[in-house]
Amino acid sequence: MLDLNLSNLSSPSANGDEPLKMLVIGSGPAGFSAALYAARAELAPVVLTGMELGGQAALTHMIENYPGFPEGVGGSELGDLFQKQAERFGSITEFDTATEVDLTKHPFQIKTESGEYQANTVIIATGARPNHLNIPGEEELTGRGVSYCATCDGWFFKDKKVVVVGGGDSALEEALYLTRHATSVTIIHRRDELRAGQILITRANENPKIDFIWDTVVTDVVGDEKVASVKIKNLKTEEESAIETDGLFIFIGHTPNTDIFDGQLALDDGGYIVVDGLMQTSVEGVYAAGEVADPHFRQVVTSAGMGAAAAIQAVRYIEEKGL
């Protein structure tokens, strides 16, 4: 772990203000849980929302596995509740995005789209973004039939045919959501076995609008103004064909949002921030929580738990250092 020279820990920021006690980067379940715990410890944390208030969870139509909501809760509704609860104790929400950080000196320096912060502790909760297939036509037709969010775009496919790529929980959950609008949902998976949990597999198998194409990848997205068809290839037979579709929804995993921390914090091979059991990163006073540091669980409840743990540790750090 990098042991910083803490001699200037309480030095004022450039504009004459004291540094923040805590800056939280990211506004998903991990970020707002961290802010809730920090606010209750009277650290007056500032939360930078990033581009997506509420994070990826807020884009989920219905969350059925967050405890305390026996009937499920809408993703954006849960995000609102997280925010309100943190703000009730003094957390400050800033609609701003971190663009550059300097974690080599203390207080830490964080540049944003509209300003600059200095902070004695930082909790990174920047989450992850959906992976792309990187095939011809995908980028050009994004927003014109290619999508990475069924909850956001499903409505546009009322009475239309759509294709979903992926075999994990996201692919099945989003495919099930799409059956509300679309007439048919074809799930294309590169293997003949799904990675998703059994409850979603059962629901998908029982849904008459869903069918599967196995051992197959999408190789091209075709269309002028909007998606008209996709070219596909069977990986076992090498047979190539095309299927007509109005939309292509891609759910093939995520990449952590760690670009601005590269070179400053230890990252693993997948780009995830390395943390110890106490959410501590390789720099003392900097913690990470949620999907940005978790390639394994990636649940709303585990992200919220990590956020709370990170804040508890940050509070201890501030007390120990007498900040």
Q: How far is the CB of 246 from ligand NAP (least distance, A)?
A: 20
Q: How far is the CB of 84 from ligand NAP (least distance, A)?
A: 24
Q: How far is the CB of 161 from ligand NAP (least distance, A)?
A: 20
Active site residue 220: no
Query: What angle is formed at CA 131 by the lines to CA 246 and CA 32, rounded to 5 degrees?
Result: 110
Site for ligand NAP in 106-145 (CB under 6 A): 133
Residues 6+ apart with CB under 8 A from 70: none
Q: How far is CA 128 from CA 56, 82, 92, 258, 305, in A?
A: 8, 19, 23, 8, 17
Alpha helices (runs of H) in 10-160, residue ranges in sequence order: 29-40, 75-88, 150-153
Q: How far is the CB of 300 from ligand NAP (least distance, A)?
A: 9
**For residues 161 and 190, which CB has a smaller minimum distance to ligand NAP in the complex?**
190
Site for ligand NAP in 264-303 (CB under 6 A): 298
**For residues 60 and 282, which CB has a smaller minimum distance to ligand NAP in the complex?**
60
Residue 123 and residue 24: Cα distance in Å, rounded? 5
**For residues 109 and 170, which CB has a smaller minimum distance to ligand NAP in the complex?**
170
What is the four-CA torsion angle of 20, 25, 29, 30, rounded to 10 degrees?
A: -80
252 binds ligand NAP (CB under 6 A): yes
What is the per-residue DSSP string for 166-221? Answer: --SHHHHHHHHHHTTT-SEEEEE-SSSS--S-HHHHHHHHH-TTEEEE-SEEEEEE
84 binds ligand NAP (CB under 6 A): no
**For residues 217 and 228, which CB has a smaller minimum distance to ligand NAP in the complex?**
217
- For β-strands 20-25 and 108-112, DSSP reports them as unpaired
Residue 203's φ and ψ, nearest 5 degrees, are -60, -40
Residues 165, 250: contact at Cβ < 8 Å?
yes
- Of the candidates 274, 267, 279, 271, which has an alpha carbon nearest to the alpha carbon of residue 309? 279
Say how far residue 301 (Cα) sits from the centre of its chain: 13
Q: How far is the CB of 174 from ligand NAP (least distance, A)?
A: 8
190 binds ligand NAP (CB under 6 A): yes
Binder to ligand NAP among 251, 261, 272, 317 (CB under 6 A)? 251
28 binds ligand NAP (CB under 6 A): no
For residue 18, list its beta bridge partners.
Answer: none
Q: How far is the CB of 165 from ligand NAP (least distance, A)?
A: 6
Say how far residue 13 (Cα) sits from the centre of its chain: 31
Per the listing, tokens 């309100």 go with 84
74 binds ligand NAP (CB under 6 A): no
165 binds ligand NAP (CB under 6 A): yes
**For residues 166 and 305, which CB has a smaller minimum distance to ligand NAP in the complex?**
166
Active site residue 3: no
Binding to ligand NAP by CB under 6 A, coded x per residue (else -) over 210-249, reads -------x--------------------------------
Q: How far is the CB of 218 from ligand NAP (least distance, A)?
A: 8
Binder to ligand NAP among 111, 161, 195, 233 (CB under 6 A)? 195
253 binds ligand NAP (CB under 6 A): yes
Active site residue 149: yes
The residues that touch ligand NAP, with contacts defined as CB under 6 A, are 65, 133, 165-171, 173, 190-191, 195, 217, 251-254, 298
- Write out the catalytic residue numbers: 149, 152-153
